[in-house]
Amino acid sequence: MLNTLRKVPEKLIDENNVRLDRRGVNDLRPVKIEAGVLVNADGSAYIEQGKNKILAAVYGPKELHPKHLALPDRAILRCRYHMAPFSVQERKSPAPSRREMELSKVIRESLEPSIFLEYYPRTSIDLFIEVLQADGGTRCAGITVASLALADAGIPMRDLVAACAAGKVEGKLVLDLTDLEDKGGEADLPLAWMPTLNSVTLLQMDGMLTTDEFEQAVNIAIEGCKQIYKLQKEALKAKYVAVREEAEE
Amino acid sequence: MSSTIVARVKQRQIAQLISLGKRLDGRGLTDYREVQVETGVIERAEGSARVLLGKTEVMVGVKIEVGEPFPDVPNEGVLTVNAELVPLASPTFEPGPPDENSIELARIVDRGIRESKAIALEELCVEPGKKVFVVFVDVYVLNHDGNLIDASAIAALAALLNTKMCKYEVKEGEIKIKPGYSPLPIRNYPIAVTFAKISDKLVVDPWLDEEQVMDARLTITMEKDGKICAVQKGGYGYFTTQQISEAAKIAQEKTQELRKHLVKG
């Protein structure tokens, strides 16, 4: 509470279409992604998107406990999205909130279409997403980093899933909203996208948009996902370049 | 038949018929089941409604209590939506704390009401920062035959429209009840339309067996002027952008149709 109680400033976008953090309306925040950051996990990744800092880890495919949850023809994906108590302005109780329960579900459903679950019957793949610092768009950054962690674990996938939000702030459609823009804006539309299959695997919206604006926002979000997808691929490749350099030394 | 497992033969039949533009229960792809709305069914609640959507049955009770506002909106009342998947409604519902399905259901209904500003929450403030009215919307699923979201959203709105508050006056920070009732201030009428993707086609209002077969689910909630106020995708599958645009167009028509059950004229 003591440090900088932020107030919503009067204008989030100035007359030249420049946002508070100097971005244009169609710009992403600076994104840094790294694969293979945790030793114990079968796969892991870390993302920084603006002030968001999120870790993801994958354990499995492994034997499932309790056993009765196992499916005879495919693996089950279990997902936990969780925010650290210190990740937001006012301390968040570490117990899972209703929001986190819902997000865990929609994130799982956004990643399931990308995985060949039928290759690993009777097993589980456990996915943990820990938000260390949050500044709007954590579910999307969470999906982006989780998909990379799944790839890092060597799990066969149809495609990487990239996610990004679009929304409406002060009457303008914008990409990748910060927490301030989400709270002060008119609408927020998180979307996850598998490029090679042209498929939307997560779509939510709250706020108020006309049908036309809604369709435009979907397209803006997809453009953002395309940029993030590139960064995901680079991060995955970078890990193996690093490994090879080590081997050559 | 209490089992929720749909035989492979039936699954294939449902999928094949839909690919031909037909449905097993004889409906067209964009037809709703019969909707029946009854309000004021629970006298103890400030507002209530029972909605039948085909055989899906949902009851909603609204209770109003005095509580504290959220610190970031000190002069607004509080809206709380909760959903219970009561074990008597389906063999798949287990007793215990709300699971992710009931939480998701409650949050979709909540988002529709909240984002369309259906309740004039600013009129529910008694003493800024200290005392406001808290509106509890409790969704009670009594029989599960598919599409709980739309049935719950209709029932929640019907119950809110049915809600009466005691008249009151404030004396030295205390609430004094006066005789008589006034309706809860309602400003908007959000309606949810849910689509299932089966055989790469969109069908509205999936019943239980169709939900077992569907690849993915998409719910679009629209307010009275046809603006979209909430969207939620669910299920393991995906949608193409064309399908999303198509769904938005169909929802435009269907929300108007459904709203006629609640708001006359």
Asked if B234 reaches chain A (Cβ–Cβ under 8 Å), the answer is yes
Asked if B232 reaches chain A (Cβ–Cβ under 8 Å), the answer is yes
Mean of all residue pLDDT scores within chain A: 93
pLDDT at B168: 87
Nearest chain B Cα to A117, which residue?
B236
Residues of B in contact with A198 (CB under 8 A): 240-241
Instruction: Say if residue A2's pLDDT is above 70.
Output: no
- C-alpha distance from A143 to closest chain B C-alpha (Å): 15
- Asked if B194 and B217 touch (Cβ cutoff 8 Å), the reply is yes
How far is the CA of A157 from the CAs of A39, A150, A154, A238, B59, in angstroms?
A: 22, 8, 9, 19, 42
- The CATH number of the domain covering residues in B33-259: 3.30.230.70
Tell me the per-residue pLDDT of B113-172, one tens digit each, with 9 for 90 and over: 999 999 999 999 999 999 999 999 999 999 999 999 999 999 999 999 999 998 888 888
pLDDT at A8: 63
Mean of all residue pLDDT scores within chain B: 94
- Interface contact flag, A204 B232, Cβ < 8 Å: yes
pLDDT at B265: 55
What is the side-by-side order of every strand in the sheet holding B201-204? A172-175, A162-169, A187-194, A199-209, B228-234, B216-222, B191-198, B201-204
Task: Give the gyration radius of chain B's Cα atoms.
Answer: 20
Decide which of B172 and B193 is more confident: B193
| Residue listed under structure tokens 């909603």 | B60
User: How far is it, in rounded angstroms, from Cα A57 to Cα A60?
Assistant: 10
Task: Give the gyration radius of chain A's Cα atoms.
Answer: 19
| pLDDT mean over B80-104 | 93
pLDDT over 90 percentage in chain A: 88
| pLDDT mean over B177-201 | 95
- C-alpha distance from B178 to closest chain A C-alpha (Å): 37
Tell me the per-residue pLDDT of B207-256, one tens digit each, with 9 for 90 and over: 999 999 999 999 999 999 999 999 999 999 999 999 999 999 999 999 99
Asked if B74 reaches chain A (Cβ–Cβ under 8 Å), the answer is no
The pair phi, psi for residue A165, each rounded to 5°, is: -105, 150
Instruction: Say if residue A20's pLDDT is above 50.
Output: yes
pLDDT at B1: 38
- Interface contact flag, A201 B233, Cβ < 8 Å: yes
Instruction: Say if residue A193's pLDDT is above 80.
Output: yes
Instruction: Say if residue A157's pLDDT is above 80.
Output: yes
User: How far is it, in rounded angstroms, from Cα B36 to Cα B50?
Assistant: 8
Tell me the per-residue pLDDT of A91-134, one tens digit each, with 9 for 90 and over: 999 999 999 999 999 999 999 999 999 999 999 999 999 999 99
Residues of A in contact with B245 (CB under 8 A): 215, 218
Instruction: Say if residue A1's pLDDT is above 80.
Output: no
- Asked if A160 and A229 touch (Cβ cutoff 8 Å), the reply is yes
Tell me the per-residue pLDDT of A58-99, one tens digit each, with 9 for 90 and over: 998 999 988 889 999 999 999 999 999 999 999 999 999 999
User: How far is it, in rounded angstroms, from Cα A175 to Cα A202?
Assistant: 16
Residues of B in contact with A222 (CB under 8 A): 241
- CA nearest to A203, candidates A216, A223, A218, A215: A218
Tell me the per-residue pLDDT of B11-36, one tens digit each, with 9 for 90 and over: 999 999 999 999 999 999 999 999 99
| Per-position b or e across B158-175, b if 16+ CB within 10 A of its CB | bbbbbbebeebeeeeeee
DSSP helix/strand/coil, A230: helix
- Interface contact flag, B227 A210, Cβ < 8 Å: yes
- CA nearest to A71, candidates A114, A128, A126, A117: A117
Ranges of each domain in chain B: 33-259
pLDDT at A3: 46
| Torsion sign across C-alpha atoms B233, B236, B238, B243 | negative
User: How far is it, in rounded angstroms, from Cα A214 to Cα B220?
Assistant: 11
Asked if A106 reaches chain B (Cβ–Cβ under 8 Å), the answer is yes
Total residue length of chain B: 265
| Torsion sign across C-alpha atoms B17, B19, B21, B27 | positive
The beta-carbon neighbor of B238 closest among A104, A113, A204 is: A113
| pLDDT mean over A15-37 | 95
User: How far is it, in rounded angstroms, from Cα A182 to Cα A165?
Assistant: 10
- C-alpha distance from B164 to closest chain A C-alpha (Å): 27
Residues of A in contact with B239 (CB under 8 A): 199-200, 203
CA B74 to chain CA mean position, Å: 27
Instruction: Say if residue A5's pLDDT is above 70.
Output: no
What tokens were used for B134? Answer: 């808290």
- Interface contact flag, A102 B241, Cβ < 8 Å: no
The beta-carbon neighbor of A199 closest among B111, B229, B239 is: B239
Total residue length of chain A: 249
How far is the CA of B119 from the CAs of A2, B70, B163, B194, in angstroms?
A: 34, 16, 11, 23
Ranges of each domain in chain A: 31-248
Instruction: Say if residue A247's pLDDT is above 90.
Output: no
Q: Which fold has domain A31-248?
A: Ribosomal Protein S5; domain 2 (3.30.230)
- Interface contact flag, B104 A102, Cβ < 8 Å: yes
- Interface contact flag, A109 B239, Cβ < 8 Å: no
| DSSP code of residue B76 | S
Residues of B in contact with A218 (CB under 8 A): 241, 244-245
Decide which of B265 and B130 is more confident: B130
